[in-house]
Amino acid sequence: MKHLIITVIGNDRPGLVDTLSDTVYQHQGNWLSSSLSKLAGQFAGIVQVEVADQNSAALRQALNTIDGLQVQIVEEATTTATHTTLHGLLVTGNDRAGIVKEVTAKLHELGININKLKTDSHSAPNWGYPIFTADFQLELPAFLTLEQVQETLENLADDLTIDIDQDE
């Protein structure tokens, strides 16, 4: 069995997820996990699929012929597991350019891997100015404490609130 990671992007329209899932199903693939979104009128997503070796080439070909969808497919990488722990990180602040860059640079300096990231900007209730949130799932190396992460990120800016989950 092969595990494929499929990324897709195209103009959003009704039926895209159905077409994508039907294509996987018709080639005896098993849809394992996904993250799909509509962003600025575009449909974008990433899907993990398991498929028998003998069906892999046909599935790849079929996915690449879906009208209006750009598709990229890679096989899941197998890596040696290292000891890490998962923690949630929520960063909140007044929306401004550079927040994601600042936070991710510090996480990189600390040797932290970002497992998931979801960001959003919305109007603050009763205030009207935009608030930015970044919700991370982080893989912390065993040698790093939550206190070290908290202190490093809090030193970025006074206008950011840093909340780290103890356990995830």
Question: Which pLDDT belongs to residue 85?
Answer: 84
13: Cα within 13 Å, side-chain hemisphere = 10
| Amino acid at residue number 28 | Q
Per-residue pLDDT tens digits for 55-87: 999 999 999 999 999 999 999 887 655 667 899
Give the model confidence (pLDDT) of 5-42 as tens digits: 999 999 999 999 999 999 999 999 999 999 999 999 99
CA 61 to chain centre: 25
**Domains of the chain, each with CATH number or no CATH:** 2-75 (3.30.70.260), 84-164 (3.30.70.260)
Tokens 């398991």, located at residue: 50
pLDDT for the residue numbered 82: 65
Q: Are 59 and 108 in contact (CB under 8 A)?
A: no
Q: Are 90 and 163 in contact (CB under 8 A)?
A: yes
| pTM of this structure | 0.81
Task: Give the CB-side neighbour count of residue 114, counting CA atoms within 13 A.
Answer: 17
What does pLDDT average to over the chain?
93
Helix locations, 48-166, DSSP H: 53-63, 99-109, 146-154
